[in-house]
Amino acid sequence: MPHSPTSPPVTYSHMPVLHLTIFISLLLAGIFIVCFAAEAWRKKGGGTDRAALLPLLEDDEVKKSTKDNIDSL
């Protein structure tokens, strides 16, 4: 809507909410990256995937020893 010559022009102030949102987003992204890197560095030899597969390794060992026992008879 055009303004009349007698009314002052519309000026928009900076949007501090947008700046705050971007700052918080970057802060959370930084925290995530630091935590992810620390977790990856701390658990180089394993993790949840390896821990989830450990029961399968035990089953394989039992099957192997059972097969070895049957073969030796």
Cα distances (Å, whole numbers) of residue 50 to 46, 54, 58: 5, 6, 13
| Among candidate residues 38, 16, 19, 15, the one with its CA nearest the CA of residue 27 | 19
* Whether the model pTM is above 0.85: no
> Which carries the bigger pLDDT value, residue 10 or residue 2?
10
pLDDT at residue 32 in the model? 97
Per-residue tokens: 24: 């918080």
Q: Please state, in angstroms and rounded to a whole number, the distance separating the CA atoms of residues 64 and 48.
A: 25
pLDDT in tens, 3-55: 566 777 777 666 788 899 999 999 999 999 999 999 888 876 666 676 677 77
